Amino acid sequence: MNSRTNGSAAPRFVVVMGVMNGERFLEEQIRTIDRQQNIDRIDLWISDDGSTDGSRKIIDTWARSWSKGAFRILAGPRKGFAENYRSMMINPDIDGDFFAFSDQDDIWDGNKLDHALKWLETQPTELPALYCTRTRSVDSDGNYFGMSPDFRKPPHFRNALVQSIAGANTMVMNRAAWHLMHEASMRTTFVSHDWWCYLIVTGAGGTVRYSSTPDIGYRQHGANLVGANNSWQARMARLGRLMEGTFVEWNELNLRGLAACDDLLTTEARQVVAEFRCARSATLPVRLLTLLRSGLYRQTHIGQAGLYAACLLRRI
């Protein structure tokens, strides 16, 4: 079934972007959105979270010249990047056919949205569907220096509960998925909007497509809030956070959010959540057995070994 809402009418894309002191790269990123190929309508919503540099001047200039659709400027809640994006996810005025997240400093390929659209249009209108990809890592000057991991195991709630596999800056979703995320995000805060989308879409029985072909340059620089995962050092650092207890805190927040959205989840997802809770709190033999029985998995052998070790040490 075609996902467009109006027969042969051109699909209406919505891009939501959080901005905070992004003047160095903001102009280039908005230009890459404006130059998307084969996409006639893009409504751009920008939430400025209290910038004190020249970001607002750049945004205002683009607002006057934007010709692809609506251009809306919002005042962010000033509570950090996750809350800035959540404020847009719960905004009832933001609506369209397909929805994408953008960082303020990425570099989008010209066919990023078109690639996502080709898959999303094959999905049933009523089924929440989310498309995401790998990323190319680039430095401050846009020079390529690596790729994010090429995850091969299928996206699933049993993976989402213990791992986020794609950045929100790669995600494009259909209207059913956006409305699902709107409802879920009205009920709770979250660790990060990318992990939250992966959790809720898979947990509610939606479908996620992870593409090995990157469509964006993910810029790595000193101001990044979340670093790349394209080196052994970075991956070991993430395993270190898993072992030191950060993973425990993130899981606690995720589980609290999932509890608030229990009625949105499938019966299978609710059972997996119950098994995960047991694997976090029971006695040692029961913890391990429950983790094995649950089928929870991370995408790599090292990650899976780290998950079992964290279970042993009560670090999940």
- Write a three-state SS string for the chain: CCCCCCCCCCCEEEEEEEECCCHHHHHHHHHHHHCCCCCCEEEEEEEECCCCCCHHHHHHHHHHHCCCCCEEEEECCCCCHHHHHHHHHCCCCCCCCEEEEECCCCEECCCHHHHHHHHHCCCCCCCCEEEEECCEEECCCCCEEEECCCCCCCCCHHHHCCCCCCCHHHCEEEHHHHHHHHHHHHHCCCCCHHHHHHHHHHHCCCEEEEECCCCEEEECCCCCCCCCCCCHHHHHHHHHHHHHCHHHHHHHHHHHHHHHCHHHCCHHHHHHHHHHHHHHHCCHHHHHHHHHHHCCCCCCHHHHHHHHHHHHCCCC
- Tell me what pLDDT residue 9 has: 82
Spans of all domains in the chain: 232-312
Q: What is the pLDDT of residues 154-205, one digit of tens each?
A: 999 999 999 999 999 999 999 999 999 999 999 999 999 999 999 999 999 9
- Report the C-alpha gap between 147 and 192 in whole angstroms: 21
Q: What angle do CA 111, 116, 119 make, to 5 degrees?
A: 130
Of residues 300 and 222, more confidently modeled? 300
Asked if 96 contacts 13 with a C-beta cutoff of 8 angstroms, the reply is yes
- Tell me what pLDDT residue 223 has: 54
- Tell me what pLDDT residue 129 has: 99
Q: What is the pLDDT of residues 261-277, one digit of tens each?
A: 999 999 999 999 999 99
pLDDT at 224 over 80: no
Q: What is the pLDDT of residues 38-59, one digit of tens each?
A: 999 999 999 999 999 999 999 9
